[in-house]
């Protein structure tokens, strides 16, 4: 017989907001997309240029996901050839403090403790 389980000292996040928000940031690229939209509206091709190693397919997927969840707005421009522009919604702007907090921790991480994988930016 081992030790008895102690009661947790922290409450589970009600209705799982932690997971709900992490779902938004899931994947290698979603945080970068949001990061580069903080400066204002940005076209598809501009985002591809901002985030060089993202593929068109994944960028398209992330943009549609973020749009479906009300984080960004898509605007079709009446140009030739046609182009599209994406912009953070009011709700989407609320992600920025979270992103800032994450970046702030990131700057304190020791580089030698980083994983040996591709970086996402």
Partner DNA sequence: CAGGATCCTAATCGATACTG
Partner DNA sequence: CAGTATCGATTAGGATCCTG
By the criterion CB under 7 A, which residues form the site for DNA?
2-3, 26-30, 43-46, 48, 53-58, 60-64, 74, 81-84, 117-118
Per-residue b or e along 57-68, where b marks 16 or more CB atoms closer than 10 Å to that residue's CB: ebbeebbebbee
Residue 97 contact, options a second copy, DNA, none, Cβ 5-8 Å cut-off depending on partner type: a second copy
> Distance of alpha carbon 22 from its chain centroid, rounded?
9
> Distance of alpha carbon 103 from its chain centroid, rounded?
12
Rounded (10°) angle between helices 17-25 and 95-106: 80
Residue 57 contact, options a second copy, DNA, none, Cβ 5-8 Å cut-off depending on partner type: DNA
Residue 84 contact, options DNA, a second copy, none, Cβ 5-8 Å cut-off depending on partner type: DNA
Number of C-beta neighbours around residue 83 at 10 A: 14
User: Which positions lie near a second copy, rule CB under 8 A?
Assistant: 2-3, 5-6, 8-10, 12-25, 28, 31-32, 35-36, 38-40, 42-43, 45-46, 49-50, 68-70, 77, 79-81, 83, 91, 94-95, 97-111, 113-115, 117, 119-121
């Amino acid at each position: 017989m081992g030790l008895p389980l102690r009661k947790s000292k922290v409450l589970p996040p009600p209705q799982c907001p932690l997971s709900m928000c992490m779902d938004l940031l899931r994947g290698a690229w979603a945080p970068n997309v949001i990061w580069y939209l903080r400066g204002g509206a940005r076209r598809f091709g501009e985002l591809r240029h901002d985030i060089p190693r993202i593929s068109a397919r994944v960028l398209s997927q992330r943009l549609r996901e973020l749009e479906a969840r009300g984080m960004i707005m898509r605007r079709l421009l009446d140009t030739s050839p046609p182009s599209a522009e994406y912009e953070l919604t009011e709700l989407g702007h609320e992600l920025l403090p979270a992103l800032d907090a994450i970046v702030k921790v990131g700057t304190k991480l020791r580089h030698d403790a980083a994983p040996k994988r591709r970086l996402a930016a």
